[in-house]
Homo-oligomer: A and B are copies of this chain.
Amino acid sequence: MLNRDVREKLIAIVGENNVEDNNASLLAYSYDSTPRYQTLPDAMVAPRNKHEVSAVVKVCNEHQIPIVPRGSGTNLCAGTTPSEGGIVLIFKHMREILEIDEENLTMTVQAGVYTKDILDRAQAVGLFYPPDPGSMHISQIGGNISENSGGLRGLKYGVTRDYVLGLEIVLPNGEIIQTGGKLAKDVAGYDLTRLYVGAEGTLGVITEAILKLVPQPETKQTMLALYHDLAAAAESVSAIIANRIIPATLEFLDQATVQVVEDYAKIGLPTEAKAVLLIEQDGPPEVVARDMEKIASLCKDNQAFDVQVAQTDEEAEQLTAARRTALSALSRLKPTTILEDATVPRSKIAAMVKAIGEIAAKYELTICTFGHAGDGNLHPTCLTDARNEKEMELVEKAFAEIFEKAVDLGGTITGEHGVGMMKLPYLHLKAGEHGVEAMRRIKQALDPHEIMNPGKMFDPLTKQSKEVEK
């Protein structure tokens, strides 16, 4: 519970209606979309503008109160669990799209704007904001930026990072800085913009962003390629890229995933296939037509037993929408769904899928795998039950092995979900002890009182040294 002094200071800044600490509110902000992580915060605070954010941060910094900035809480890494109490900062009053600049192809937005609204507003003027994380209908851009969210179009278009040109940031000391700008080139000092993208709210609060837009592609086509075995699907992915074609989307679903998605969406997906690739290309019509023809032929050369091109926009939309339901569909089957995102160089997808299968068998777990084959970003998803403690131990062991395997193959423990609390124990596998140490030093330099989203990404220097002292 906040002490009365602090509580009154916060109310003086944001108004009484914007500080909530009744039980229902605390419960609502005690967890995010990650199973098995829950802690009550001391209060929810909803500042109305950057100046209020700054004032709130100053109070918290003075009193060493944890701040957890939170968008819609759709992250899957326990990135916004208030594990050390403190306040959860929400952005319901900061939902404005401030500007669309058609000459410079930028959009300036407040942190609380919904991702989907950004896509829609861009599309309305013939422009395109490519990042499309699975949760984009309800996720907020501030969260996307803090997690450097990915999505289905990463292969061709990159991730959130590639579309953030500038930020307004409230530093842990409460000072407000602007980074970057409407600039294609800017090398004035360290790249704070990219340091804050993906920093998971541990270095400050993002209040505003300048986003890069690109011209809307003229057309899009969608196809499914069906396989009797996983390796052939993986080889098709490699063959497409090796032929210098970069599709907009190149998704992989294993049979189990196709089955549950079909049960859920009922659109006639080919449940007989052991593996399915969902492939989209966008661009000028001539190029899309040529690429799709070439892709179809490469898939057949690599033992696809069928290739189905969507004949209408509706049919195409249905296929992509079905893929987007994978997580929801899987989560209907068992009480607990644990979705991971171990990522490997795309040439290693076959090896990784195979390893996941072997690890699942070893621990007798149900793990379905789907994901962004084109960028090597797989989502092995364990269907389990958090109440079964014995099984949960096995799940943890299995995922630890999956992370180790991914890193062995030149990959990473997380492609697009973030570290949060969930992968904190594994960060060293990818970043190395000295790499984690460098991150810790950056954290300490910018947030010496460790108020910003504590307990995420890595243990701070102080906690470490306390543990050494013990």
Q: Which residues of B contact A216 (CB under 8 A)?
A: 244
Provide the bound-state CA to CA distance between A287 and B176, in Å. Answer: 44
Q: Are B435 and A179 in contact (CB under 8 A)?
A: yes
Known: A192-B438, A199-B190, A246-B214. A415 touches B445 (CB 8 A): no
- Answer whether A444 and B445 are a contact pair too, CB < 8 Å, given A185-B159, A417-B187: yes
CA distance A226 to B457 in the complex (A): 55
Please name all residues of chain B whose beta carbon is closer than 8 Å to the beta carbon of A162 when the two chains form the complex: 162
- Provided the pairs A215-B244, A244-B215, A287-B286 are in contact, do residues A419 and B187 lie with their beta carbons within 8 angstroms? yes
A347 close to chain B: CB less than 8 A: yes
Chain B residues near A441 (CB, 8 Å)? Answer: 445-446
Per-residue CB proximity of A416-454 to B under 8 Å, as 1/0? Answer: 111100010001001110111111011011100000000
Q: Mark A101-135, 1 if CB is under 8 A from B, else 0.
A: 11111100000000000000000001100000000
Say yes or no: is A356 at the interface (Cβ < 8 Å to chain B): no
- In the complex, are the beta carbons of A188 and B419 less than 8 A apart? yes
Bound Cα distance A162, B446 (Å): 26
Q: Given B175, B190, B427, which contacts A198 in the complex, CB threshold below 8 Å?
A: B190
Chain B residues with CB under 8 A of A126: 244
Determine, out of A12-20, A40-48, A148-156, A388-396, the stretch whose residues face the partner at the interface: A148-156
Closest to A443 in B: B190
Which residue, A203, A416, A445, has most C-beta atoms of chain B within 10 A? A445
What's the least CB distance linking A411 to chain B, in Å?
Answer: 6
**Interface residues as binary, A354-379 with B (CB distance below 8 Å gives 1, 0 otherwise):** 00000000000000000010111100
Taking a contact as CB atoms closer than 8 A, the residue among B147, B183, B439 that contacts A411 in the complex is B183
Interface residues of A in 163-218 (CB under 8 A from B): 171, 175-179, 181-192, 194-195, 197-199, 203, 214-216
- Chain A contributes a number of interface residues (CB within 8 A of B) equal to 92
Given contacts A184-B375, A184-B376, whether A177 and B432 have CB atoms under 8 Å apart is yes
Interchain CA distance A431-B189 in the complex, whole Å: 8
Report the separation of the CA atoms of residues A445 and B444 in the bound assembly, to the nearest whole angstrom.
8
B189 lies within 8 A of A427 (CB): yes
Q: Which residue of B lies closest to A447 (CB)?
A: B441
CB distance from A100 to the nearest CB of B (A): 12
B176 touches A434 (CB 8 A): yes
A415→B186 contact, CB < 8 A = yes
Q: How far is the CA of A343 from the CA of B187 in the complex (A)?
A: 10
Report which residue of A102, A190, A374, A434 has the largest number of chain B beta carbons within 10 angstroms of its beta carbon. Answer: A190
Complex Cα distance A437/B448, Å? 14
A346 within 8 A of B: yes
Q: List 25 A-B contacts (CB under 8 A).
A: A104-B345, A171-B434, A177-B434, A178-B432, A179-B431, A181-B412, A183-B343, A183-B375, A183-B411, A183-B412, A184-B374, A184-B375, A185-B343, A185-B377, A185-B416, A186-B343, A186-B415, A188-B427, A189-B431, A189-B439, A191-B199, A192-B435, A284-B284, A284-B290, A286-B286
A residues at B contact (CB < 8 Å): 101-106, 126-127, 147-148, 150, 154-155, 158-159, 161-162, 171, 175-179, 181-192, 194-195, 197-199, 203, 214-216, 238, 241-242, 244-246, 284, 286-287, 290, 343-347, 372, 374-377, 410-419, 423, 427, 430-432, 434-439, 441-442, 444-446, 457-458
